[in-house]
Structure 1
Amino acid sequence: ARRYHWLSDNAKNFVVEPHDAIVGDVKRDIVLDMTAKESESCRKTSVDITKEKPKKIKRMIMSIRPAYQKSLQEWMPKTADTLWKEYPIDVLSMPRNINWKALSEVYEFKPQNYEQLLGFKGMGPATIRGLALIAELIYGEKPSWKDPVKYSFAYGGKDGVPRPVNRRAMDESIRILKQAIQEAKIGNKERTRSLQRLRRFVPANMI
């Protein structure tokens, strides 16, 4: 889990890129982004998958394994009864805590769109990720794996997560911001207001 802030002044819906900007405490190389426009086909396929019987979904999930993991088929006799199709995965491993009860209930509900699927009780991030992986690996509908976080400004967390606070870097950033305000070609009134806004985010003794 990670902390982030997102801005949505112009959001038309909360399924397809509702954010205008996202700032997080860390930016990662690989992140499943089901809100991306590139994930549209994956979203639709995820909804279609939930209309399959839960037993079939479980079989599909069992057919997915990490690429580094050996398959039992390598040591089994090659007969029609022992061979089944497998889908090695390189990006993320299949989540272990899929909510099978929710999948059984959503099968009866039969959502008409992704928004209804997300709003169904029990459809948490692990289950949504499992459906996305099935959609990509078995049905070929690839989601976006690009991190939607554009900027990472965090200097650390007071609880040491994701890392201890870097006071030197924080002090330097405050100094630069203060200097920029003082040297900006703006009126004294606007300069005072800008410094007051800066004080909201930093200790008073640092301004």
Structure 2
Amino acid sequence: MSRRAGSADLPLHGGRVPAWLGQRMTKLGTVITQAIILHYGRDEFLRRLAHPFWFQSFGAVMGMDWHSSGITTSVLGALKRGLTPLSAELGLHVCGGRGRHSRATPDELLAVGNRTSLDGSALARTSRMIAKVDSAAVQDGFDLYLHGFIVADDGRWVVVQQGMNDGTRLARRYHWLSEDLKSFVEAPHAAIDGRNQGRIVNLTDRRAAASRIGQLDLLRDLGPDGIVREAAALTPAPPAPATAQPELPHLVMPDRHEVRPGDVILRRLHGALAAAAEAGPRDFAELLMVPGVGARTVHSLAMVAELVHGAPCRFDDPARFSLAHGGKDRQPFPVPVLVYDRTIQVMKSAVAAASLGNDEKLDAIRRLDAQARRLEQTAGGPSLDAFIAGERRRSHDYGGRSVFGHEPPPAERTSRTERAGG
């Protein structure tokens, strides 16, 4: 039983994730996964991955470009690197990836079957079937180039795959979930992310059942050559009236780098900032026994905590999560490496303690999220532009870094700007 869970349309971007960021993404992605599993179990983590808005927020909080197609590749890569050494402990196996790695997915699933009690051959067939559905049954102009298959020891799984359209410079991400899927060829998707590209051929739509049956009948009765002859004589017929069916979550990201006020629900940002200020950084640091944890780190922790504990409706503004650790392309601001490292350190400390039966530290992070939600109803704060400007002013102090290099001190940055202008 599985279903498609949703989808996303994303600007198609090239480039690579620098090693200094990729290593941190692996650590943060791993510890967030562990926290979700400790609190809610593996099934809930798979559901999160199948939700396109949560998935985009997950990548944004890790410092990846908040709006781009690269989030899919980098998130799956980070999870594969981070969770593979923990597969026996967590009961999760991350297979596939981009390009040649996607083509190796069936072999990886067979290997998983050999290490566990799972039917690797059946999983490999499922992987191939899902790839066929999104490449052939759904003809929307996107050619698949990425296929990630995450399977649990009990056989439940999620698939995230992505196609590209070179003509429009867009990517489309498709999400599948093994929970409640009744058919691979009738409305199977949990989600599809993407921008409207006009009329497409979607043979997985429930309304296409007659078409699927008719195609099989034609192939049996006429053969390929007969179908070609008959097709040449056809004239377009008026479309049948559409019947309503449930809409899947569909994320559309803009083709621009800067984060704008319309991308962020400001009251949620203000709630996180207020919670960070009121959490008492000194007491919070003493509880977690991590030096250097100030209000700025607690703000990032509040956004990480929301990823762990938030309901699906909390992720309809994924750009907001880029305000935790910035972005590798310096948008909305350079990655504050020192803050990022402390966030990882705090989360690792909390997860390690919880794994040994001491939930106090992990519960503190959960309470931080609850406090942010309470305060967002009444808290005020800076405008988005003012918040981003402040982050950029303090970027050097936070160890700011991007693909363009380390952020210089403010005086040096001003001097460079004046020389460029002169």
- What is the TM-score with the length of structure 2 in the denominator? 0.24
Choose between structure 1 and 2: higher strand proportion: 2
Choose between structure 1 and 2: higher helix proportion: 2
Q: Which has the higher contact order (CA 8 A, sep 6+)?
A: 1
